[in-house]
Amino acid sequence: MIVAHVDLDAFFAAVEELENPELRAKPLVVGGDPHGRGVVATANYEARKFGIHSAMSCAEALRRCPHAVFVRSRHSLYREYSQVVWETIRGVVPTVERTGLDEGYLDVGEVASDFLQARWIAEAVQVSVRAATSLTCSLGVSSSKVVAKVASDYRKPGGLTVVPAGTEAAFLAPFDVRRLPGVGPKAEARLRAAGVTTVGALAALGDVDLRRLLPGSVGTLLRERARGVDRRELELSTARISISVENTFERDLTDRRRLHDELRRMGGAVAEHLRESGRTARTVTTKLRYTDFSIRSRSTSLRVGIDDGSEIGELACGLLDRALRDRPGALRLVGVGVSGLSDFRQLAFPAVSDDTFGHYPSGVSTPRRPL
């Protein structure tokens, strides 16, 4: 098995910097109220120089860096960027296990036959993510999830570390024992009290000492991981959950008619994919990328699935207009996507969006406005 762990660098803070480039040179903390009981969600690398890290209280972060800029988390915005990132990654490595908005595992062995090719694939992932979003990511590549996870953190930000088969234990050995996934605070305290401070020292423990320090199956599992052995397979989801088409323009566009024409064309292309697969879609999404690379998306959901290109195109145009009302500006990219896929058709009812309400047949309840 060849697996990669990908981790977006200071993801929330990086998105905030894209949205407001003036923040890039400043210590930036994303989280709660520094004058209340807020907690740091993440911090950019400038703020980390002051010892600020995730899960620290915002009050402590403010004490360590009084001139830091604090912004509230915007999870809906981060989800939009995350969706683009993972769609981009799947264009290089089709099968992934997402473990969060900003990290996950890739089945690199699906597209690479050895670790040299795996390095090329990992580099392609980094380049693709940077081109699509201006975000950077770090990757670790190895024969198991645990080693790949440690390797992805080795050269952050923007790093790439490949640990070929046979070198896993030697790579892990010098790391502090707390860096090994699965070693929690209690296990760390027990190991340190016994002088076991590195992953290599944990790997070298004999059975008697291991049972004394970490009784039960947990100790055996952690020792195996310390030796680079991790039998977990990726929790893969190969079912296609969305279909999308997008286009980057040679010149930034503001002409609404041309943008609508492009979206209608994409709606037809998406519909063709749906019909070929014998499926319908209940949700239509329009994606916009502005000249500063910031991303917005707007979606509308339907009571039943559709596969009609003209209907998808018209819905996409309406979503574009709504997004441009919220934030006008020239666009470098637009896209149309559908999700909520189904293998059967039903009688159609009117569309339900988050800001449009129509008249419904008798017996059909009116949708509630999302909170």
Catalytic residues: 103
> Measuring CA to CA, which residue among 10, 3, 19 is closest to residue 158?
10
**Spatial strand order in the sheet of 3-8:** 96-98, 103-106, 3-8, 137-142, 160-162
Q: Is 128 exposed, middle or buried (0-12, 13-18, 19+ CB in 10 A)?
A: middle
User: Residue 205 in contact with residue 223, Cβ under 8 Å?
Assistant: yes
Structure tokens belonging to residue 263:
């979206």
Structure tokens belonging to residue 47:
């703020």
d(CA 300, CA 358): 13
Return the percent helix, strand and coil in the chain, to nearest 5.
Answer: 40, 25, 35
- In the chain the beta strands, taken as DSSP E runs, fall at 3-8, 28-31, 40-43, 69-72, 96-98, 103-106, 137-142, 160-162, 242-253, 280-290, 295-306, 331-342, 351-352
- Our measurement of the distance from residue 331's CA atom to the centroid of its chain's CA atoms, rounded to an integer in Å, reads 23
Name the residue with tokens 């063709």. Answer: 272
Q: Characterize 156-181 residue by residue with b for buried, 16 or more Cβ atoms within 10 angstroms of its Cβ, and e for exposed.
A: eeebbbbbbeeebbebbbebebeebe
